[in-house]
Amino acid sequence: MQADVVLFNGRVYTMDHQLPLAQAVAARAGRIVAIGDNAQVRALVGPGTEQLDLGSRTVLPGFTDAHIHLVHYGLSLTQVQLDGLASLQEALARVAECARVTKPGEWIRGWGWNRNLWPGAPFPSKQDLDPVTPNHPVFLRSKDGHAAWVNSLALQQAGLTRETPDPPGGQFERDPQTGELTGLLKEDPAIDFIKDAAGPASLDEMEKAIGAATQRLHRRGIVGVHVPEEEHELAALQSVWLKGELELRVNAMIPDRHLDKALGMGLRAGLGDEFLRLCAVKAYADGSLGTRSADMFEPYQDEPRNCGIEVTDAERLAEIVGACTASGWNVAIHAIGDRANCRVLNVLEEHWREWSPLDLRPRIEHVQLITPQDVPRLAAMGVIASMQPIHCTSDMDMAERHWGPRCSGAFVWRSLLESGAVLAFGSDAPVEDPDVLRGIHAAVTRQREDGLPPGGWYPEQCLSVPEAVYAYTVGAAYASGEERIKGSLSVGKQADMVVLSQNIFELPAQELLNTCVEATILAGEWVYSTLRL
């Protein structure tokens, strides 16, 4: 048998305990057909075989980002970029610049503003935006995606007034004296009014966004994604897939509000192929830390009357879990605050005898703050912790301000892992950069890239490099029920690989940030490479 491609003279970390380290790997028809020493694998070289001498470079299974908003990440690359801006004035200047080159009446969309970077500033309002955008409706998503900042024209086009009641699970910020809407909306039930008024991006725009996002992900060694997308985004993914142009392995989640329709049509998890597949139903228990809408047992440190927002109550969560269990669907439930995580675990425990015999793998998305008594419950029930290490180093200062001493229960990867829970890591892009090596650095050091804080933030929760890599490979594959075909480099599994410039298993932790992805291989094909082939 002749291989299509052979990589040899490398350090191939398989993430398979039966053969942890090899020299070479061969692929044919998108599958691994041999892995072992150079002589064994090069025996499969024929006249048409592509060969690459790795020169002792490190090879890993291709990475999976287990939580990314793929289409929105792609769209965010072309919208007004507000991420990292240090003041309200800088954000307004960026929006004004866009308004000058945008046709009057057209919507201005942006992403990434972070009020937590604006010391002493209140949440932004329509009064800030109106003077610089008198002729454009404006829709600006916060960095965490759980708030929107809009101007008066956007509120008018959405039909929102002071008489509009807050929707269940959402909130319109109001002037405490007048009751007028301020232009700040929290959580999707409120933000959806603006989304509906602005309308979705066109199919063509979303397809281009998928292509742009895919190229960026390939440069980071990412071959697979788990995406909680809406119906329009799923339609765009299907369109790209039908054209044979989808160059990522996509596990798609459907929003819980479409659950009845999906069940009515008889849709089941697992429908699809190795490139586009339905995997779970996504629901929200609460909001976010940045918007201070994460559902908490006790109030935020700096807001003594605020315990967050219960986006979906326990009764509705129970309905979702029950319906999904009866139809063989996994659930993926967003939970940030300690009370939200407890509520989700309570609901899953109530239905545990129903879903556990079916090999369903429910997951909690984020698990950012959890009480010590709730930590072992994930492993006890087989609930997957779908987490994003980069959130820890990005949010730790904000967490200290808002959660105080409760931060000892924040991002507790080590505690969850030692309790027996499966970790599946992602980025939550566009909230954060989907750079896996930066994510591994965050998981291993719990430090920002500047090395702060010394010794790491709650360093007892740090992981080792192999443990972090596992969560981006085998753990992610297990979360989607695909560990038999992906996640590790073994004969018969998908030939998805990443080549690194350095051996991250033997480096000082800070050197992880100086490591580059030199090649990404998907189904035995080179989708990104800086190497001479």
Asked if residue 380 and residue 470 are part of one domain, the reply reads: yes
pLDDT digits (tens, 9 = 90+) for 167-192: 998 999 999 999 999 999 999 899 99
- The residue-averaged pLDDT of 295-300 equals 97
Q: Which of 120, 149, 184, 124 is nearest to 401 (CA)?
A: 120
Domain count, the chain: 3
Phi, psi of 8 (to 5 degrees): -140, 170
486 occurs within a structural domain: no
Q: Which domain holds residue 110?
A: 72-198
**CA atoms of 28 and 20, how far apart (whole Å):** 21
* Positive or negative torsion for Cα 399, 403, 406, 409: negative
Asked if residue 311 is part of any domain, the answer here is yes
CA 233 to CA 435: how far, in whole Å?
Answer: 22
340-389 pLDDT per residue, tens: 999 999 999 999 999 999 999 999 999 999 999 999 999 999 999 999 99
**pLDDT for 143:** 87
Q: What's the pTM?
A: 0.92
Q: Are residues 180 and 160 in the same domain?
A: yes
* Distance, CA of 228 to CA of 282 (rounded, Å): 6
Out of 198, 220, 238, a domain closes at: 198
CA atoms within 13 A on the CB side of 185: 33
For residues 294, 298, 300 and 302, what is the CA-based torsion angle, rounded to 10 degrees?
Answer: 170
35 and 81 assigned to the same domain? no
Query: pLDDT by residue (tens digit) across 114-124?
Result: 888 887 778 89
Q: For 266-285, give one letter per residue: b (16+ CB within 10 A) or e.
A: ebebeeeeebbbbbbbbbbb
Query: Is residue 488, in this structure, part of any structural domain at all?
Result: no
Clarify whether residues 194 and 208 are in a common domain: no
Flag whether 487 is in a domain. Answer: no
Burial pattern 125-135, b for ≥16 Cβ within 10 A else e, equals: bbebbeebbee
- The predicted structure's pLDDT at residue 507: 93
Residue 342 in any domain: the answer is: yes
Strands 276-284 and 249-255, by their bridges, are parallel
> Mean pLDDT across the chain, nearest whole number?
95
Asked if the structure places residue 484 within a domain, the reply is no
Measured distance CA(218)–CA(477) in Å, rounded? 18
DSSP conformation letters of 260-300: HHHHHTT--TT-B-SSEEEEEEEEESB--TTTT-S--SS-B
End-to-end Cα, the chain, rounded Å: 22
Q: Which of 261, 258, 255, 262 is nearest to 281 (CA)?
A: 255
Contact predicate 342/371, CB 8 Å: yes
Domain match, 312 and 355 both: yes
Of the listed ranges 145-149, 300-304, 529-533, the least confidently predicted one is: 529-533
- Any idea what DSSP says for residue 365? E
Amino acid type, 454: P
Please check whether residues 255 and 318 belong to one and the same domain: yes
Token pair for residue 514?
Answer: 């100086």
Same domain for 118 and 217, yes or no, is: no
Q: pLDDT tens digit string along 51-73? A: 999 999 999 999 999 999 999 99
139 shares a domain with 26: no
Is 338 inside a domain boundary?
yes
- ∠ CA 414-142-77 to the nearest 5 degrees? 95
Task: Give the per-residue pLDDT at 182.
Answer: 96
- Distance of alpha carbon 29 from alpha carbon 148, whole angstroms: 46
Span 129-142, average pLDDT: 95
Whether 470 and 511 share a structural domain: no
Please, are residues 186 and 291 in contact by the beta-carbon 8 Å criterion?
yes
The answer to whether residues 171 and 270 belong to one domain is: no
In angstroms, rounded to a whole number, what is the distance separating the alpha carbons of residues 339 and 369? 9
Structure tokens at 520: 């990404």
Assign 513 a pLDDT band (cuts: 50, 70, 90). very high
Span 18-25, average pLDDT: 96
One domain, residues 264 and 147: no
pLDDT of 204: 94
Interval 381-419: pLDDT, tens: 999 999 999 999 999 999 999 999 999 999 999 999 999
Task: Taking the CA atoms of 373, 400, 424 and 282 in sequence, report the sign of the dihedral they define.
Answer: positive
CATH number, residue 37: 2.30.40.10
Residue 284 belongs to some domain of the structure: yes
Q: What is the pLDDT of residues 216-275, one digit of tens each?
A: 999 999 999 999 988 899 999 999 999 999 999 999 999 999 999 988 888 888 999 999
Confidence of residue 533 (pLDDT cuts 50, 70, 90): low
436 and 375 share one domain: yes
For residue 209, what is the domain's CATH number? 3.20.20.140
